[in-house]
Structure 1
Amino acid sequence: MEKDLLQQVLDKLMEYTLSSNEDISTHLKISDNLEEIAPDVGKYIIEFAYRDIYSRDGLTNQQRALITLSSLVTQGTEPQLELHINTTLTSWLTASEVVEAIIQLIPYTGFPRVLNALTLAKKVFTQRNLEVSYNEETKLVSE
């Protein structure tokens, strides 16, 4: 991949990546963790997902993040879901919007997967020092 294109792709990846908290799961950490046994996986994530898919026109980062979040909840892929709850928040969706998106999936994927997703969301919110509370008047409130 040429240097300018690679930088554009890395810039797109960083739009979804919180780098200020070492405890947060990121695509870069996944690549580093798999370097010894599957060094090409990181390259595939960057070159395919972020060059060919995430860089397309037609959707905002927030829309892409919600679509990915929904897909991962329905698949029950918790490690990847934790990563993408983070990317969703980094894409400027609120914690309340993440919770509402997950709740919206109950009729389509069922309570067990939604409960697992909400548990992971709570973990990520704690890591990021976000508070979400339920208030009868305003429903979900992010602080």
Structure 2
Amino acid sequence: MEDRPHVSAHERGVSKLSEYTLHDSSGAATHQKLADDLKDIAPDVGRYIVEFGYGEIYSRPGLTNQQRVLVTIASLVTQGTEREIELHVNTGLTAGLTSTEIVESLIHLIPYTGFPRVLNALYVVKKVFAQRQVETPQPGAP
């Protein structure tokens, strides 16, 4: 993270989050939608995501936005959290990941996570690709 003491974690978070957010969301899962959905029961969650998640963690140096999203998606697949996978596949596409990179990263998880979690994630990815009109990668073989 740059040494910018005059910039708050919130400001850093908003700036970084904008790099991952589709501004014309057209129904796509976004962090803002997540925060809006929870504001009646846990209004601070949105602030935590912006200030801690994006203002402190995602703003650190050393990884590209695309690398961060791949790590995040892999972790979410291992946890079986389909709603968050949908959110982060959207952020990954917005950050510049290709459909091939996303699908191949999931295939790579099969020996570590297992078929059921990867299959669930692939259905989520298929849904996001359809919503965003992303061309699916052509099947490949070793």
Distance 2:122 2:137 in 1: 13
2:55 is equivalent to residue 48 of structure 1: no
Distance 1:3 1:121 in 2: 39
Moved more, 8-17 or 117-126: 8-17
Contact 2:16 2:54 in 1 (8 A): yes
TM-score, with structure 2 as normaliser: 0.90
Specify the alignment match of 2:86 in structure 1: 82
Distance 2:58 2:25 in 1: 23
Taking only the aligned residue pairs, the percentage that are identical comes to 57
**Segments of 4+ in structure 1 off by > 4 A?**
none
Q: 1:39–1:112: structure 2 CA closer, same or farther, 3 Å change rule?
A: same
TM-score, with structure 1 as normaliser: 0.89
**RCO higher in 1 or 2 (8 Å CA, sep ≥ 6)?**
2
Distance 2:106 2:117 in 1: 9
Distance 2:19 2:40 in 1: 26
Distance 2:21 2:89 in 1: 11
Q: Which segments of 5 or more consecutive residues in structure 2 lack a partner in the other structure?
A: none
**Root mean square deviation of aligned Cα:** 1.7
Contact 2:70 2:105 in 1 (8 A): yes
